[in-house]
Amino acid sequence: MPTLGGNIVSGNRSARDEPAGRLLRHLLGDEGRRDPYPVYRRLHDLGPVAALPDGNRYAAVVHGHDAVGQALRDDNLRVLDAAYLDRAGTRWREHPAVRTLQSSLFHASGAKLAYVRRLFGQAFGPTRVTALEPMLDRITGALLDRLAALGANGTPVDFMAEFALRLPSDVIGELFGVPASDRSWFPSRVAAFDAVIEVGQRPFREVRAADAAAEELTAYFADLLATRRADPGDDLVSALATTDTGLTEVELLASLVIVFNAGFRTTTNLLGNGLRLLVDHPELLAALREDHALAPAYVEEILRLEPAVHVATRYAVETTDIAGVSIPEGRPVVILTGAANRDPRRFPDPDRFDPTRADNHHYSFSAGPHFCIGAALGRAETGLALPRLLSRFPSLALASPPGPRRHLVLRGYDRLELLLRKGLPG
């Protein structure tokens, strides 16, 4: 089974039997992926950073709140770029999916990263997002009408497929200038591509599917760029197509693919994870339904407690120190943002859903140079959609238990079937 991104714990028996190593192995197993929170609690007992012996692939596990913030902002810790991957060989270059990731802004660094973020950030800044509110409102309203029609007469409706995926994909589609008729083409390909983003080994069938999806997505945006160069519109792709970006065509296409994918996959899971939390806490659901002004605080607590992304990896370009643990030059670390969000040293009763938390500073959108450029948009979409959903269907309920979530990156439900009832709960 290929390890395309190098994301797997390995080593000799003594290294694996070390407490932090065992916990990390468990986290990357099936049980840990389904429920990572017991692992996080045990890691916190070891302190904010756990060093691993030389036999492990990683030098350390970083999981404390302050330590994670330090690691994400440390200029000496960088994403696993091409230079790093090449140390283990160049076979990764045979895979279009990994080449796309490595050519995108997600794996840029330094001045190049700052430049590309400014280039794409024009579509996602807070001022621009505020201007998008009429569009968000229009798309949300249309999708709520669709839910009402699909759920008439008590028919169960899959919230993930019919709302949580459609809302952000329609929004990012309009921002990019992707025609509405094309948008249903993307989800299956984006889901296949995302296999290479998940931490750990991937089955070869998933790798093949990700490679095929990368080629198809790249070809689509190459055609869209050509179309917009000939006939530009009022959208991000047109702006990039008619500007001397300073990027190669490969870099530009890769960044378009990755930003488009991230633009709806993370928010899809944020919506699903958030709705499940609300259904499990009916008193808090009712409070949000009655007062939509509470939405920003609810969104932050959903992000903290059930984020879509739980893990990041970095490597040291120079020896650096994180919370007193030395990370040798050239060694990678695994950074557990999901664990940092539940650090009991930072958050009282960290496993409790409490939208009234003060100073709710989490790392669900990362931090430092790779802070998510779509954070403001994701917050706006979720903060608008969930309260309106609850008001439109005040007695909504789960039609059946949702299946397990099996990923640490892009963590969310495959299905979330709802019964949509308009009357208030009896």
pLDDT tens digits, 309-326: 999 999 999 999 999 999
Mean confidence (pLDDT) of the chain: 93
Q: Is 2 contained in some domain?
A: no
Provide the domain limits for residue 289. 13-419
CATH of the domain at 315: 1.10.630.10
Q: Which amino acid is at 398?
A: L
- Domains of the chain: total: 1
Q: Is 17 contained in some domain?
A: yes
Q: Is 5 contained in some domain?
A: no
Q: Is 400 contained in some domain?
A: yes
pLDDT of residue 424: 63
Q: Is 153 contained in some domain?
A: yes
- Using one digit for the tens of pLDDT, what is the confidence trace for 145-160? 999 999 999 999 999 9
Q: Is 151 contained in some domain?
A: yes
pLDDT of residue 123: 86
pLDDT of residue 425: 61
pLDDT of residue 6: 36
Q: Is 1 contained in some domain?
A: no
Q: Which residues of the chain have pLDDT under 50?
A: 1-17
Q: Is 3 contained in some domain?
A: no
Query: Per the structure block, which two tokens stand in for 118?
Result: 């400014």
pLDDT of residue 353: 98
- pTM score, two decimals? 0.93
pLDDT of residue 216: 98
